[in-house]
Structures are given as C-alpha cells and as structure tokens.
Amino acid sequence: MQGELEKALARVADHESRITACGRTDTGVHAVCQVAHFDSDANRSERSWVLGLNSHLPDGVSVLWVRPVDEGFHARFSAFARTYRYRMLNRWIRPALQHGKASWVREPLDEEAMNQAAQHLLGEHDFSAFRASACQATHPVREIQAIEVRREADVVTLDVTANAFLYHMVRNIAGSLIRVGVGEQRPSWLPELLESRDRNKAAPTARPDGLYFVRARFPAEFDLPSRAPAFPRGKGLS
C-alpha cells in the first residue's frame, strides 16, 4: 500500500514524498482506517487531495480524508492507542465471499472460553511469548487496554486495543486463543504463556487474512476523523 500511495502522491503533488503510517500491515492484512502523514508544499484543497489520490490508486486502496496538521504531528508517534480486529469464519464449509477477508476455522469455537482467556492479557505485560522473531521493537512490554472475543452467527471476532503492538502480536494472540476455542487448551493457559515469555510455547501465528487495522487514536487537538466524512468540510472546495 505504501508504495502505491507514494506513487499516487507524486502525481498529485508534482513531487516525490515519503509516507509515514501509524501502523504496519503485512501482505494479506487489511486496514480500515490507516492514518499516514507526508510533507508537501503543494497547494491543494482537502477534496482535491482525496479525489486526486484516489484517481491514481489501484482497486482495494482508497483515501478517505486529508487534513493539514502542524509539524508536531507524527502518524506513528502521536498515536496513543491502536485497535486491531481479527475475524474468524467458524464453520465446516470453506469461505466464498469472505475468502481472503477472514480466517477459516473448521472446528467449533467456544468464544466464551476464548474471551475468558483473553482477559488475562489486559494491562501492561511482557508479551515476548507473542512476539515474532523478526520484531525490531526495543522492548517487549505493551499495554492492552481492551480485548474482547465475540460471536455473530458464524463469525468470531477478536478486538484488541493497546498503546502499541509488537510484530505479529495480534496474530500470535489469535493463534493461541484458537487453541483455547477448539478445546486444546484451557483459558488459564494464556497467563502461563505470558509468564513463560517463550514464543515457542505459544500457538503458531494465525493467518493474515483475518487481521484488520481498525483505527488509531490521536489527541483531540489534531482534529482527525475516525472514519470517512459524509461530505467534504468547509466552503469553496474544488
């Protein structure tokens, strides 16, 4: 996504500029409202930025809004919380319309046991047991501020909000919660994994298909929307 957005930006701004995003997404991972910043001296209205960028972006990538911010804003370091979602299609029949948009778990999942297990991860912990070997973070301590597993029909959803995430942290948590959901482990296994700080004791990394970057939260002073506005704000936009 970053490369495509930078190519579109060069077309609209008439100069090259590097994009800095608030969170990373791997191949196969989705983003609902990713936030990124770039520097430009080009004089464009917010509406013109949006329409111009989208006209040069491929299908599957769309800019929802653009806001001017001061030099103190940084898409990554100004965010004080981020939310990820992991969706699991839980049925014995393979996905069709949801292919590539949800992970497929054939065995019945006990979402209540999964949610019970997930609550052990609330708070500030050393998440080494859920950290990928390629993670470049300087330390493994993160604070999970909210976590929930719920079911709607045949879709089981994991929502996680934290101050920051380690590489593959959500997918590794999802993989271990699936072990609980299918009855291979008890909910009390999650605090044992935390205590062990051993990635080798946790479950394999869950597939990327079901992971979504949902949103980042920024201080109110930046006046950033959490979703696409119905119409461009202001007057005289062209």
Concatenating the DSSP letter of every residue in 126-181 gives: E-GGG--TT---S--EEEEEEEEEEEETTEEEEEEEES---TTHHHHHHHHHHHHH
Packing angle, helices 111-118 and 169-181, rounded to 10:
130
Residues 127 and 207 in one domain: yes
> What is the H or E stretch that residue 103 is in?
strand 103-105
Strands 155-162 and 30-31, bridge-based pairing: unpaired
In a domain, 221, yes or no: no
pLDDT tens digits, one per residue of 184-221? 999 999 999 999 999 999 999 999 999 999 888 998 88
Report the alpha-carbon distance of residue 167 to residue 133 in Å, rounded. 8
Instruction: Answer yes or no: 26 catalytic.
Output: yes
Residues 63 and 116 in one domain: no
- pLDDT reading at 225 higher than 90: no
Domain edge (last residue) among 25, 50, 77: 77
Task: Give the CATH number of the domain where residue 36 resides.
Answer: 3.30.70.580
- pLDDT reading at 232 higher than 90: no
Query: Three-state DSSP class for 2?
Result: helix
Residue 121: DSSP 8-state: G
Q: Range of 61's domain?
A: 2-77
Half-sphere exposure (CA, 13 Å, Cβ side) for 58?
8
- Whole-angstrom CA distances from 203 to 107, 156, 218 are 16, 18, 33
Report the alpha-carbon distance of residue 114 to residue 105 in Å, rounded. 14
Residues 58 and 118 in one domain: no
Report the alpha-carbon distance of residue 40 to residue 71 in Å, rounded. 12
Residues 203 and 131 in one domain: yes
Strands 30-31 and 211-217, bridge-based pairing: parallel
Give the residue among 83, 191, 56, 93 at the shortest CA–CA distance from 145: 83
Residue 32 has a pLDDT of: 82
- pLDDT reading at 115 higher than 60: yes
Residue 60 has a pLDDT of: 84
Concatenating the DSSP letter of every residue in 199-231 gives: GGGSPPPPPGGGEEEEEEE--GGG---SS--SS
Q: Which of 26, 39, 198, 223 is catalytic?
A: 26
Number of separate domains in the chain: 2
In a domain, 231, yes or no: no
pLDDT tens digits, one per residue of 27-70? 667 888 889 999 998 999 989 999 999 999 998 889 989 989 98
Residues 137 and 161 in one domain: yes
In a domain, 223, yes or no: no
Residues 101 and 47 in one domain: no
